[in-house]
Structure 1
Amino acid sequence: MKGFIGLIVTFLGFATTVFGQCDPATPAQNAAYEKVVRELQNQFRNNPPAGNWQVFDERHSLGNLELSDEYGKIFRVCGDRYDLTFIQASAASRQKARADSAKAIGDTFTQQQRSFVMSTDSVYREADPNRASDLAKSMVDINVEMNAGNYRVEEPISNRFAASYKVIPVKGAPLALQIILKPNEAGITARPETVVLLGNWKNNLQKNPRGDKLYHYSYKKGGTMIENIIVTIKAPFDVANEIVKKIDWQALSNTLAK
């Protein structure tokens, strides 16, 4: 019993260490973060793919930013990121109709399922291949991580493996990639990602003893301000390419600490 209690205490201490890293941002840090996020909003909200797309969800920490006490942590539970989801109007109408129908018949499970924001991982996890294909074509996730110590193309510990990946040219960006991820054990089918990295990134793909394939970032100022961003566009390559061409990557790069 003593050993079990000791294990719990050790775990709680570990959890406090790992998850208790967030501190309120200083005024300078908050200003730096807001500068980046407002330009992300300016670029991505105003440049949806061609067609009848609308903003479905947007997540950020403007006015309520918390930062990790060090950059490059394994667990980044703080608010230095930005996420945006586009959905086609027809798909949004179908989503709302399913939720309304479930509400009418008291089907709370379906009602909740259809009311929540659906990430692209849930899209690719759909049991019906035809529905998964339709959803993948009607929804775009744009996820932005800030001050990352590495970008992992493959990470065996999280079962992330790439079927293929290649460097692509993007004007105003030092490094950009097209990646097709393999299906994983959680039931998520193969899916494409287009990744644009801004900041002092180099084309220096490395492989460590754990099997990770990663690009390592070299900080100039210690990561106390926003020195880099990683933009991941989860969408078919033709849709992602259209978004990439519309974005002023140099304008985004200009918001970073040099």
Structure 2
Amino acid sequence: MKKLLSILLVIQIISIHQTRAQCDPATPQQNAAYEKVVKELQNQFRKNPPAGNWQVFDERHSLGKLELSDEYGKIFRICGDRYDLSFLQASAADQQKARADSAKAIGDTITQQQRSFVMSTDSIYKESDPNRTTDLAKSTVDINVEMNAGNYRVEEPISNRFAASYKTIPVDGAPLALQIILKPNDAGIAARPETVVLLGNWKNNLQKNPRGDKLYHYSYKKGGTLIENMIVTIKAPLDVASEIVKKIDWRALSNTLTK
């Protein structure tokens, strides 16, 4: 019954997305603004991996093919105004590559697609082997960047996102940053901790709406036609995320935003 309800919920969310979200072509000015942000994200994050045997495993952006989405479009990220980067430890990267090569050899398209599908509210990779889930949580760093978000949701019941704990943390050059421990989902899969840095005109104004969302609301100065804010989510063990946060020049990233 729970599985059926989950499937119906996903269908409902997709329906909302299709009816309320549009992917609009970017203007030359918007392309230039996006390119400026993404190039600085690459400069900061690709050049500052965690200490140890980490390597870039995957990177996603829409340079040259940007389409813009409203906030509903960011549920499944069908439009392209975002940036994603994954680091894996060398041994995990070798295992992932072998798994993908094996899937390709036998025509397992689901396993192949797992590498290319990103959700902003994902739990750690769901695996039948609990040990593999634990290993992936320790050996994978995902950096997900949303741009021009109207809200940042700490909790969102419709997507089964609930926080066991959350707190603000100081980050030099950022108006707001959070450390969040998410509760396991309804299948019992534990989510990775999230360290979130918000750049732009964010305020420490946590609100709760009638749907049960706990969120921070963003106030646009220029109307949001160019990139005015970023939400940088680092999904990694807290010590690894803390190390990454200290290495990044957040002021340089903030300077790419439209003021």
Q: TM-score range by the shorter chain?
A: 0.7 to 0.9
* Displacement of 1:135: 1.0
Larger Rg: 1
Q: Deviations over 1:38-74 (max 9, x none)?
A: 0000000111111111111111110111123xx4x32
Please, which of 100, 111, 114 is the counterpart of residue 113 of structure 1? 111
User: CA separation in 2, counterparts of 1:91 and 1:164?
Assistant: 29
CA contact (8 A) 1:125 1:187 kept: no
Mapped pair 1:95 → 2:96: yes
How far off is 1:89 after superposition?
Answer: 1.1
**Map of 2:5 onto structure 1:** none
- 2:177 aligns to what SS in structure 1? strand
AA at the equivalent of 2:73: F
Distance of 2:112 and 2:225 partners within structure 1: 39
> Percent of counterpart pairs with the same letter?
79
Alpha-carbon distance, 1:99 to partner: 4.3
> SS at 1:240's partner residue?
helix
**1:138 aligned partner:** 139
Query: How much has 1:177 moved relative to structure 2?
Result: 0.3
- 161-170 or 123-132, larger mean C-alpha shift: 123-132
1:62 partner letter: L
**Which amino acid is the alignment partner of residue 237 of structure 2?**
P
- Give the secondary structure class of the aligned counterpart of 2:49: coil
Give matches, 1:40-189, under 5 Å.
40-68=41-69, 71=70, 73-76=71-74, 77-100=78-101, 107-109=106-108, 113=111, 116-117=114-115, 121=122, 123-189=124-190
Deviation at residue 190 of structure 1 after TM alignment: 3.6
Number of corresponding residues: 239
Q: Does 1:200 align with 2:201?
A: yes
Distance 1:214 1:115, change over 3 A: closer
Paired residues for 1:19-58 under 5 Å = 19=21, 21-58=22-59
- How far 1:108 moved relative to its partner? 3.7
| CA deviation after TM superposition for structure 1 residue 249, in Å | 0.2
In 2 relative to 1, CA 224–142 (structure 1 residues): closer, same or farther, beyond 3 Å? Answer: same
Q: Secondary structure at the match of 1:57?
A: strand
Secondary structure of the residue aligned to 1:75 is helix
Secondary structure at 2:178's aligned position in 1?
A: strand
> Residues of 2 paired with 1:115 and 1:89: CA distance?
21
Measure the CA separation in 2 of the matches of 1:208 and 1:123.
27
1:99 and 1:112 in contact (8 A); partners too:
no
1:210 deviation in Å? 1.3
**In 2, are the aligned partners of 1:173 and 1:196 still within 8 Å (CA)?**
yes
Deviations 1:14-53 (A, max 9, x none): 776424x222111111101100000000000111111111
Could you state the TM-score of these two structures normalised by the residue count of structure 2?
0.84
CA-CA distance at 1:94 after TM superposition: 2.0
Deviation at 1:95, TM superposition (A): 2.3
> 1: CA distance between counterparts of 2:164 and 2:213?
14
What are the residue-to-residue correspondences of 1:174-253 with 2, within 5 Å?
174-253=175-254
User: Structure 1 pair 34/169, CA: closer, same or farther in 2 (3 Å)?
Assistant: same
* Alpha-carbon distance, 1:162 to partner: 0.1
TM-score (norm 1): 0.85
Do 2:166 and 2:179's aligned partners in 1 also have CA atoms closer than 8 Å? Answer: yes
Q: Unaligned regions of 5+ residues in structure 2, if any?
A: 1-14
SS in 2 for 1:255: coil
- Give secondary structure in 2 for the equivalent of 1:74: helix
Deviation at residue 124 of structure 1 after TM alignment: 4.1
Go from structure 1 to structure 2 and tell me whether the alpha carbon gap of 1:200 and 1:102 turns closer, same or farther (over 3 Å shift).
closer
